[in-house]
Amino acid sequence: MKPRPASLRHSGKRAGAGTTLALWISFLGTLIVLYFLINWLPSMVLSRGLTRVQSSVVQMMFNIGGGIGAIVIAGLMDRIGRRPTVAGMYVGIAVALAVLASAGSSVGMALGGLLAGLFLVGGQSVLYALASNIYPTQVRGTGVGAAVAVGRMGSILGPLIAGQLLAIGQSASVLVAASIPLIAVAAIAALVVVARFPRGSTMAVAH
């Protein structure tokens, strides 16, 4: 008998069609917001009447937060569990967006930038770890690759949609606030993925 091709429909109990769709939604929503901020955060700071130097500081804080998040947050899953890590990560993203949407000072924007980098970049690491652990070895490359491809669509759509809305007069603050419901959807989808793991099981962390 010929071996069956490695495809997503043969990806095991954890990664059925519903779980795969939920994973894609979480990747898409999270990366739309991440790349929107990567591309438009400096302009958003300047639109608040802050200086270019202050804009650079906010961007630097975003990058610092991202570096910390990439190292720390995914590693929390084996320490405190997947569900608390994923839930806390998305709560952190929502708080960061709320701070960025409402901040009027350089200190507030810097804090929002730090939190956004911490939880969004850290969140990306968490999603990679989830993706690499819901698929069995024989289809892992296909499953993770598909999720990453969907996420890359988000990296294109985020800046593109934001640019179009800003061009017709929407403020950056409105766009940031409007990102919170999208993050809520991504969070629910990620928790659906987490629910597919047996309680007490461990997972390898993707770096």
pLDDT in tens, 87-114: 999 999 999 999 999 888 899 999 999 9
* Residue 5 within a domain: no
Model confidence over 150-161: pLDDT tens digits?
A: 989 988 998 898
130-152 pLDDT per residue, tens: 888 888 888 888 888 999 999 89
Mean per-residue pLDDT, 178-205: 82
CATH number, domain with residue 55: 1.20.1250.20
Q: Is residue 161 part of a domain?
A: yes
Q: What pLDDT sits at residue 199?
A: 63
Looking at residue 171, what is its pLDDT?
A: 80
DSSP code string of the chain? -PPPP--GGGSTTTT-HHHHHHHHHHHHHHHHHHHHHHHHHHHHHHHTT--HHHHHHHHHHHHHHHHHHHHHTGGGHHHH-HHHHHHHHHHHHHHHHHHHHH--SHHHHHHHHHHHIIIIIHHHHHHHHHHHHHS-GGGHHHHHHHHHHHHHHHHHHHHHHHHHHHHTT--HHHHHHHHHHHHHHHHHHHHHHHTTSPTT---PPP-
Give the chain's mean pLDDT: 85
Is position 13 within any domain? no
Q: Mean pLDDT throughout 127-131?
A: 90
Range of the domain at 146: 38-194
**The predicted structure's pLDDT at residue 48:** 85
Predicted confidence (pLDDT) per residue in 1-56, tens digit: 444 444 444 444 456 788 999 999 999 999 999 999 998 888 888 888 889 999 99
In a domain, 33, yes or no: no
What's the rounded mean pLDDT across residues 186-193? 95
Domain count, the chain: 1
- Look up the pTM and report it: 0.84
Is 203 within a domain? no
pLDDT of residue 198: 67
